[in-house]
């Protein structure tokens, strides 16, 4: 595995703490909007990163730029439509990260255009925050339990899929651990092609700003 240097890892910390916080807070907020106050009662609708930290997911994010946070626990019985509600709640996290990435991209564009920041370390932190938000969104969209992608399929999948999901959720967690050890291959063959389309979309959005 090719690991980043210590300085790069340290400069990733602010961006990854923000990324996991906005990701999980979005899950909790959308669940709350649908009638489930469990995330709010558990203190998960917050940008404070401490309630959201999963130690293994944080390590993966620091080393490889992708990973996961502590999942927000919701009670689908409180949703008006539990099947669709679970999917929308899952979708909220990646969408929040993509929107955050767009904001960071716009900030970086104007910093570069008007030479607003000369400190290279601040620039690296912003660049890392941008990339981490993109890759956190993409990684969580993979249809592997318990990642968001597997739950987004709830919107379209038959009930049998939901039963399959809960039955094989533990296997999905083992796959996630394997992803850490095969990170370079995952980045090259799975995440990078998806990232290309995301970066292309963000570039299109940037062109809308003078």
Which residues belong to the active site? 24
The answer to whether 65 and 132 are in contact (CB under 8 A) is yes
Q: Which residues of 110-142 are buried (b: 16+ CB within 10 A; e: fewer)?
A: eeeeeeeeeeeeeebbbbbbbbbbbbbbbbbbb
Report how far residue 104's alpha carbon sits from residue 206's, in angstroms, rounded to the nearest whole number: 11
Q: Could you write out the DSSP letters of every residue in 34-90?
A: TT--HHHHTT-SSS-SGGG--HHHHHHHHHHS----PPPP--GGGSSSHHHHHHHHH
């Amino acid at each position: 595995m090719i690991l980043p240097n210590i300085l790069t890892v340290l400069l990733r910390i602010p961006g990854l703490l923000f990324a996991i916080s906005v990701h999980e807070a979005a899950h909790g907020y959308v669940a709350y909007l649908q009638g489930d106050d469990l995330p709010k009662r558990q203190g998960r609708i917050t940008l404070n990163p401490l309630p959201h930290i999963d130690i293994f997911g944080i390590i993966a994010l620091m080393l490889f730029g992708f990973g996961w946070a502590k999942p927000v626990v919701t009670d689908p019985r409180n949703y008006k439509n539990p099947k669709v509600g679970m999917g929308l709640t899952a979708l909220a996290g990646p969408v929040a990260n993509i929107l955050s990435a767009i904001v960071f991209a716009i900030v970086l564009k104007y910093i570069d255009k008007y030479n607003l920041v000369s400190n290279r370390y601040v620039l690296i932190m912003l660049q890392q925050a941008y990339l981490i938000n993109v890759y956190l969104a993409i990684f969580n969209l993979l249809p592997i339990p318990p990642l968001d992608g597997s739950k987004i399929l709830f919107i379209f999948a038959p009930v049998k899929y939901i039963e399959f999901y809960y039955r094989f959720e533990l296997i999905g967690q083992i796959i996630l651990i394997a992803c850490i050890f095969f990170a370079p291959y995952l980045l090259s063959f799975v995440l990078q092609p998806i990232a290309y389309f995301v970066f292309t979309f963000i570039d299109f959005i940037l062109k809308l700003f003078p």
